[in-house]
Amino acid sequence: MRRHIVPPYLLARLARADDTGLDRAVVAARRALAELPPLHEERRRSTLVAPPRGQETATAAGPRRTIADARGSERLPGTVVRREGDPATGDVAVDEAYEGLGATHAFLLDAFGRPSIDGEGLPLDATVHYGDDYDNAFWDGSRMVFGDGDGEVFGRFTASLSVIGHELAHGVTQFTSGLVYQGQAGALNESFSDVIGAMVEQHALGQTSSEASWLIGEGLFTPAVEGRALRSMLAPGTAYDDDVLGRDPQPADMAHYVETADDNGGVHLNSGIPNRAFALAAIELGGPSWETAGAVWYDTATRGGLPATAGFDDFAAATVRAAAARFGSGSAVERAVRGSWEKVGVGVDERS
């Protein structure tokens, strides 16, 4: 099952944008939207299954990357054009994908001692130039796949490091908590990917929490769009406000939680709530996000005990316990984590 970066509500808005002069983007959005599975099918296949680890698993701590080129087709994996250690090709998408996979691998290893997304050195594969004006990027359970965008609303999807980190983080979830892709558990699945994606970018740029933009997908929109990114973790609902795309609909707290059957129960919408809790905690604590709040979120998602159907309350309580376990009961980190959930309206019952 594919995990896409562009939410269906944004594609649906663009797909209805007739008489705007964005004919190419409208057609591309309709094709991308048609690719998404119906709700009942997504529910049936809501959990990605970790693939078996075979002889291709890397034994060294370094990454082992392979980039393929679909050359405008939708056939995977495509033709291999760059392998680990090969020089840059001069194809911007190929080289951005290669560097982005490496940056994500470096972050996971440096911050958490995790060798690749499975924790055992799994090789990282990607395909670029997928489809015709393809307006999305996705993790399919074994590889990253990037479209080039339509050129009117979306540019190439390899341009955003937070997108690459986000999609690979779905692989981390696949190998750890296995959060189901439905309702609040699905929103937590999306949010954890945003958390990792943001930290990958911050790590690569050497940014502290206060210096970071907290934007997911910055650089994807063309200059024609009134917007900065797909999402803002710190200020959900403010990432874009455009005549064609409308206004970013993400809620920032539980008072504005969206009850919907669309998008698997609003997984891309309501992820704004835990996103903001994380960003608030990280900024309050200061320094690199992965040293405090990031470590807590990582422990919560990867160390077992988190139900695959966890709701926001379950996850919030688990982060407070994880903060106490790593940094001490009553520590500044535990207080910041607890307080950040309270600010977004999620109660913390540590017995849950």
Asked whether 76 and 70 are in contact (CB, 8 A), the reply is yes
Q: Counting runs of H as helices and runs of E as strands, what totals does the chain give?
A: 11, 10
Sheet strands (E) in the chain:
3-4, 65-69, 79-83, 124-128, 137-139, 144-146, 215-216, 231-232, 241-242, 246-247
Nearest residue to 69 via CA among 112, 128, 123: 128
DSSP per-residue string spanning 62-120: S--EEEEE-TT---SS-EEEEETTPPP-S-HHHHHHHHHHHHHHHHHHHHH---STTSS
- What Rg value do the Cα atoms of the chain yield, rounded? 19
Q: Tell me, rounded to whole angstroms, the distance of Cα 327 from its chain centroid.
A: 26
- DSSP 8-state assignment for residue 287: S
226-235 exposure pattern, b = at least 16 Cβ within 10 A, e = fewer: ebbbbbbbbb
Residue 37: CB partners within 8 Å, gap ≥ 6? 1, 45
Catalytic residue among 42, 96, 167, 334: 167
Catalytic one of 190, 268, 284, 334: 268
DSSP of 234-246: SSTT-SBEETTTE
> Does the annotation mark 167 as catalytic?
yes
User: Is the Cβ–Cβ distance between 66 and 83 less than 8 Å?
Assistant: yes
Residue 157 in contact with residue 92, Cβ under 8 Å? no
Q: Is 42 an annotated catalytic residue?
A: no
Quote the CA–CA distance of 120 and 341 in Å, as a whole number. 32
Catalytic residues: 167, 268
